[in-house]
Structure 1
């Protein structure tokens, strides 16, 4: 099997806690199903060209996982407030694209607890939570607040990050080095740290979501594979988690290489 195209990272589909997430490697408009390739030899080769995933122009360097520099500096999805939502400036009239702000930011968001490497606090658009949790490699997650806007979610997340991490240790996440956590009990402890103005937005689910990943075996040592240092990467595929392909000899972060023109070969 052989495919060529612009890499766009991994897409996935969640089927419930008792079934592993279905993963696909997105190459342009084509999707390569990865679950059925577990145990196979896969080679990803860089073809020497990078293209912006937004406008398609050729670029020597990509920014923020696949954008050319003009799109990085102009598109609203690349604004600083995306990674620092508590600094959202939509109300100041300086949003890069007001229509983007209305459809992506001025809508309900969840603040959540997730277990990936350890427990972390995060935020996501309502109805986007499963995609967010899988992209982070979370094995367990639960929403703890529903607020009207992204900025409010960012303010609550920023406040709670004083008591909980808001980052994932990707090496521990890939090793499966994760402690068992009762998220319902922890949620009640976290509620004690809610500022008064956010207490009315507390969100109570009866149970958390468990997520299982397609992994044959775990690595003892995490070695990062990159097409910036090698013309090709790959080996026997033993798992997929978050945005990583896990090979016997290391891990490949697919989204980091978005925009790269690649050839993907797979054999049993």
Structure 2
């Protein structure tokens, strides 16, 4: 059917008119249409080469899903505050790359609720045409923007106020176990905002009333191209196994689902040089 060779990056995602997730795997200079590969035999082999996704330097070990160690230590996008936005330190003048911070962290963000098998709270910069790529990357079947905030720091502070009541992490095993139970995210939004009203009011008093704004939105439902979910998950480790092959049964989040209950998080191996064959 098709063959590809090169360093990979995380799958590019979008949705069609029915909100079905569409996946393309960047391999070198090409893009493999992974939706078309579902139901077909796929073979992936790693030739033991890893290149940093930022500087292209050859590296023995990948950090933060694709970076070499020098970039891990130098880049703002690899700083601790990317994982914990409430620790954003741009205003303190200690941002590793102030221009990058201005372009990414000082822009408006959304705080959202989603269903990735369980309900969770999260943050995202973009909600393009009603759907954030972050929701698809996390395998969310439902999502609801609830607040718009002025910058990344505020998104982290609000998320911290809410995650005392709700998880902020995706349970990837739960996400891959099948079609999730549907939740009333609008009712959950009302409950969470009511219980966190005092903390949010304190943040507005400190940072300004317009630093946090309520978003009126409908729940977004996202579908995934899956023929069959695994009954008992077996995770593929590309570093130990060197490759894998089998029938591609579906894709959810950044995970390929193969026959025999096997799954692999392709985002984890960004920067790996792979041979990908789809028959």
TM range, normalised to the smaller chain? over 0.9
- Report how far residue 203 of structure 1 moved: 2.3
> d(CA) in 2 for partners of 1:108 and 1:190?
21
- The correspondence for 2:274, drawn from 255, 262, 268, is 262
Unaligned runs of at least 5 residues, structure 2: none
The alpha carbon displacement at 1:19 in A equals: 4.3
Q: Structure 1 CA distance, aligned partners of 2:255 and 2:242?
A: 18
Q: TM-score, normalised by structure 1?
A: 0.95
Residue ranges of structure 1 left out of the alignment (5+ in a row): none
Give the distance between the partners of 2:28 and 2:84, measured in 1 at CA: 29
Aligned match of 2:26 = 26
Shift of 1:177: 5.6
Aligned to 2:227: 216
8 Å contact from structure 1 (residues 217, 239) kept in 2: yes
Could you say which residue in structure 1 is the equivalent of 2:136?
134
Confirm or deny: 8 A CA contact 1:14 1:130 kept in the other structure. Answer: no
CA contact (8 A) 1:237 1:247 kept: yes
- Distance 1:86-1:206 versus aligned 2 partners, 3 A rule: closer
Secondary structure of 1:71 counterpart: helix
Q: Contact conserved, 1:226 with 1:233, CA < 8 A, in 2?
A: no
CA contact (8 A) 1:108 1:148 kept: yes
| CA deviations over 1:104-160 (Å, ceiling 9, x no partner) | 001100011000020000111143661110000000001111010100110010111
For 1:5 and 1:229, the matched residues in 2 are separated by 20
Q: CA deviation at 1:204?
A: 3.2
1-structure distance, mates of 2:245, 2:232? 16
Q: How many Å separate the matches in 2 of 1:22 and 1:146?
A: 27
The equivalent of 1:101 in structure 2 is: 101
Question: Is the Cα contact below 8 Å between 2:66 and 2:270 reproduced in 1?
Answer: yes
SS at match of 1:43: strand
Partner of 1:40: 40
1:37-75 CA-to-partner distances (Å, cap 9, x unmatched) read 111000110011111111111111010001110001101
Shift of 1:15: 2.0
- Between the aligned partners of 1:149 and 1:70, the Cα distance in structure 2 is 27
Partner of 2:147: 145
- CA drift at 1:198: 5.1
Query: Counterparts of 1:260 and 1:98 in 2: how far apart (Å)?
Result: 29
1:69-84 pair list within 5 angstroms: 69-84=69-84
- 1:160 corresponding residue in structure 2: 162
Equivalent-residue separation in structure 1 for 2:272 and 2:217 (angstroms): 43
Alpha-carbon separation, structure 2, partners of 1:125 and 1:65: 20
How many residues get paired?
Answer: 266
Select the residue among 166, 188, 191 that pairs with 2:190.
Answer: 188
Q: Which residue of 2 aligns with 1:248?
A: 259
**Counterpart Cα distance in 2 of 1:140 and 1:127:** 14
Q: Assess if the C-alpha contact under 8 Å between 1:114 and 1:140 holds in 2.
A: yes
RMSD: 1.4
State the Cα distance separating 1:172 from its structure 2 match.
Answer: 0.7
